[in-house]
Amino acid sequence: MVLLRLSGAVLGVVLVLACAGSVPEPPAPAPAAVATPTPVVEAVPIVAAASERPLYYDREITPADLEGRSLRELSLLRNTIFARVGNPFVKPWLNEYFRAQPWYVPGEKQDLSRLTEVDRRNVTIIAAHDRAIPRSALQAKLSALLGRGATSKEDKIELRLLSEALGEWSGGDTVAVADRNPLEDPALLDGQLVVGQMDEMSRRDLRLLRNSIYARHGRPFKSPLLQQYFSEKAWYQLNDAFTEAMLTEVDKRNIKLVQSMEDRLGGPMKEWEAQREEGWFDGA
Please report the pLDDT score of residue 166 as a whole number.
94
Is the Cα torsion angle 127, 132, 137, 142 positive or negative in sign? Answer: positive
Domain 46-132 sits in CATH at: 1.20.58.1690
Domains 46-132 and 181-284 share a fold: yes
For residue 276, pLDDT beyond 70: yes
Q: pTM above 0.85?
A: no
Range 181-284 classified under CATH 1.10.645.10? no
- Average pLDDT in the 185-198 region? 95
pLDDT tens track for 156-166: 999 999 999 99
* Rounded percentage of the chain residues whose pLDDT exceeds 70: 80
* Rounded percentage of the chain residues whose pLDDT exceeds 90: 64
- Average pLDDT in the 180-185 region? 94
Task: Return d(Cα 39, Cα 196) in angstroms, integer.
Answer: 51
167 and 186 Cβ atoms separated by less than 8 Å: yes
Neighbour-count burial of 265, counting CB atoms closer than 10 A to its CB (0-12 exposed, 13-18 middle, 19+ buried): middle
DSSP label of 39: P
- Average pLDDT in the 221-239 region? 93
Task: Return d(Cα 59, Cα 117) in angstroms, integer.
Answer: 10
Residue boundaries of the structural domains of the chain: 46-132, 181-284
Task: Return d(Cα 169, Cα 187) in angstroms, integer.
Answer: 8
Please report the pLDDT score of residue 97 as a whole number.
97
187 and 243 Cβ atoms separated by less than 8 Å: no
Is the Cα torsion angle 140, 78, 88, 208 positive or negative in sign? Answer: negative
- Average pLDDT in the 239-258 region? 97
pLDDT tens track for 73-109: 999 999 999 999 999 998 899 999 999 999 999 988 7
CA R_g for the chain: 34
- Average pLDDT in the 120-132 region? 93
For residue 184, pLDDT beyond 90: yes
218 and 239 Cβ atoms separated by less than 8 Å: yes
- Average pLDDT in the 139-164 region? 92
Please report the pLDDT score of residue 281 as a whole number.
61
DSSP label of 47: B
Task: Return d(Cα 32, Cα 45) in angstroms, integer.
Answer: 39
- Average pLDDT in the 259-265 region? 95
Mark 99-121 as b/e (b = at least 16 C-beta within 10 Å).
Answer: eeeeebeeeeebeeeebeeebbb
Helices (H), the chain: 8-20, 63-66, 71-83, 92-99, 117-132, 135-147, 153-166, 203-215, 224-231, 249-264, 271-277
